[in-house]
């Protein structure tokens, strides 16, 4: 492993030099370049309206081939931003994209065909169908937490739908942004897909342009700004946001199974996952046993040799100092207000390392329960009855995901019926993100619109209804004036029977 780390150090030095030079160049970037690129993409969009399956499939095949051929470079880039292991990069960044590509290539031909619609009795003689047409030039603003996955995933859907794209990756993960820049330049022509790096000022400038669709992944706060900007041009949006995703532990559930799955879902990417369990609701009777299972599970997964989790190459780091300090503040605030650290709490600012941290005796007034945590801190809250737990969840804005552990179908159904969330997973967590047949997305505060598979293709497509009438035939003469008593009689029959 030492050899691998040394290789990353060498890569980091070279990349930092390159990034410094590139940053100096970008400072003088003329914002009119955005408008020029946008105009070129508009011309492409007009051509791509006529694109056939094989043309779109070829672009997707080129993209998939590039990703597979450049897998080591992607691993190195993400390592430089997060210190993620190659295995975690493969699992959480590369595989979700390659599986999405494979699924899309297998189904795109049928998705593009649209579908015929049934004919109501009053419209006999006509034919109706839905035609899937590309919305047009699209903007994808991707986040820092899964910088490759959450940039390329929506790009797959846009290309499948026939939409040229401007991609704006996060400035917080510069090494991954550079590999994305290289990918775009080597796979696509500049008038097909363009990528602009930069900070929020670049994003704001891009949002001024009249895109046909915007796909944004990030926080609810920034999502509101994106939606406001989109409203100026009446641009449709897909917003993949976040929120405090709860995990219910049913009284009598298999606590070892629940704890192990929650640990993996929570501490993947050092907790920086939009669908990670944000807090646990466990029955008072199961609290101590569940906490014991969490402690044993963390030790088993991350420190089986008792050498320290900070020595484990499979445990990532916090993305930057700002987020590190925010998370340290959440832990300190919780302790000051009476929370108990059941496990963890160790940190190293030099590495931006925070140990997996379990908190008990948490109340809703603590800062850790007032915002999405987005880090390796897991509050555990107890409840006496399920209605109490449901009321607590419903006191927060609707989450992106909700997790339920237990085998009692009636209690499970109660939670499903009395709560609202973007997705729900029973007896596991996080894995729904890679289910290519499921819609993924939030509701209200946690998002608008759905993604992945057909639902991603649909997000970038206009479902255009097409009605075909025979020449010389009118389905009903009721609409033809002048109106008389016979017309009124016919209208009365129409309203009563149809």
Task: Return the active site residues.
Answer: 240
Tokens standing for residue 103:
């699924």
Helices (H), 317-385: 321-336
Residue 130: CB atoms within 10 A of its CB come to 16
Structure tokens at 490: 């016919």
Helices (H), 70-168: 71-82, 86-89, 95-112, 149-161
In sequence order, which residues have a C-beta less than 8 Å from that of residue 205 and are 6 or more positions away? 31, 34
- Which residues make Cβ contacts (< 8 Å) with residue 343, sequence separation at least 6? 291, 294, 295, 298, 356, 357, 358
Q: Could you give the CA distance from residue 5 to residue 85 in angstroms, rounded to a whole number?
A: 10
Give whole-number Cα distances, 176 to 36, 144, 182, in Å. Answer: 26, 9, 10
In angstroms, rounded to a whole number, what is the distance separating the alpha carbons of residues 31 and 393?
44
Lay out the sheet containing 127-134: strands in order across.
115-117, 127-134, 461-468
Residue bearing tokens 């390392």: 353
Bridging pattern class, strands 357-360 and 377-383: parallel
**Distance in angstroms (rounded) separating the CA atoms of residues 257 and 428:** 9
Measured between alpha carbons, how far is residue 398 from residues 275, 371, 393, 433 in Å? 13, 13, 8, 18
Q: 482 preceded by cis ω (within 30°)? A: yes
Enumerate the β-bridge partners of residue 401. 423
- Residue 69's alpha-carbon distances to 61, 64, 73, 192, 330, in angstroms, are 12, 9, 9, 21, 41
Tell me the two tokens of residue 232.
Answer: 């100026």
- Assigned token pair, 230: 């989109």
Strands 165-168 and 193-195: parallel
CA distance 37 to 24: 21
Dist CA 246 CA 405 (whole Å):
11
């Amino acid at each position: 492993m030492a050899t691998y780390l040394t290789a990353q150090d060498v890569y980091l030095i070279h990349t930092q030099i390159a990034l410094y030079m590139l940053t100096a160049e970008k400072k003088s970037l003329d914002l009119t370049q955005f408008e020029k690129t946008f105009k070129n993409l508009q011309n492409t969009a007009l051509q791509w309206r006529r694109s056939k399956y094989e043309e779109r499939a070829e672009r997707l095949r080129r993209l998939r081939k590039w990703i597979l051929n450049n897998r080591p470079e992607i691993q190195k880039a993400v390592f430089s931003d997060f210190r993620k292991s190659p295995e975690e990069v493969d699992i959480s960044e590369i595989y979700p994209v390659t599986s999405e590509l494979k699924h899309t290539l297998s189904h795109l031909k049928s998705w593009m065909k649209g579908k015929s619609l049934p004919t109501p009795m009053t419209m006999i003689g006509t034919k109706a169908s839905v035609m899937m047409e590309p919305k047009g030039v699209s903007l994808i603003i991707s986040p820092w937490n899964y910088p490759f996955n959450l940039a390329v995933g929506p790009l797959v859907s846009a290309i499948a739908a026939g939409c040229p794209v401007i991609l704006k990756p996060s400035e917080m993960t510069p090494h991954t942004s550079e590999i994305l820049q290289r990918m775009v330049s080597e796979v696509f022509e500049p008038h097909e897909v363009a990528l602009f790096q930069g900070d929020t000022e670049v994003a704001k400038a891009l949002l001024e342009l009249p895109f046909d669709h915007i796909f944004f992944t990030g926080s609810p706060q920034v999502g509101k700004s994106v939606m406001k900007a989109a409203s100026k041009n009446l641009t449709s949006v897909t917003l993949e946001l976040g929120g405090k995703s709860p995990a219910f532990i049913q009284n009598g559930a298999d606590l070892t199974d629940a704890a192990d799955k929650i640990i993996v879902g929570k501490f993947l990417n050092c907790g920086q996952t939009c669908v990670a369990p944000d807090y646990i609701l466990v029955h008072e009777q199961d609290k101590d046993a569940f906490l014991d299972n969490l402690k044993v599970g963390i030790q088993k997964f991350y420190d089986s040799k008792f050498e320290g989790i900070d020595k484990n190459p499979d445990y990532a780091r916090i993305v930057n100092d700002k987020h590190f300090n925010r998370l340290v503040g959440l832990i300190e605030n919780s302790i000051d207000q009476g929370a108990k650290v059941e496990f963890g709490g160790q940190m190293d600012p030099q590495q931006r390392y925070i140990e997996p941290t379990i908190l008990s005796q948490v109340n809703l007034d603590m800062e850790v329960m007032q915002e999405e945590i987005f880090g390796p801190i897991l509050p555990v809250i107890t409840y006496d009855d399920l209605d109490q737990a449901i009321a607590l969840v419903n006191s927060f804005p609707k989450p992106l995901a909700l997790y339920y552990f237990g085998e009692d179908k009636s209690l499970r159904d109660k939670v499903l019926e009395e709560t609202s969330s973007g997705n729900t997973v029973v007896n596991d967590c996080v894995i729904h993100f890679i289910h290519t047949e499921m819609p993924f997305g939030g509701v209200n505060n946690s998002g608008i619109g759905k993604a992945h598979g057909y639902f991603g293709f649909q997000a970038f497509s206009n479902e255009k209804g097409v009605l075909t009438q025979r020449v010389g035939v009118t389905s009903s003469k009721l609409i033809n004036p002048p109106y008389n008593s016979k017309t009124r009689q016919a209208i009365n029959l129409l309203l009563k029977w149809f």
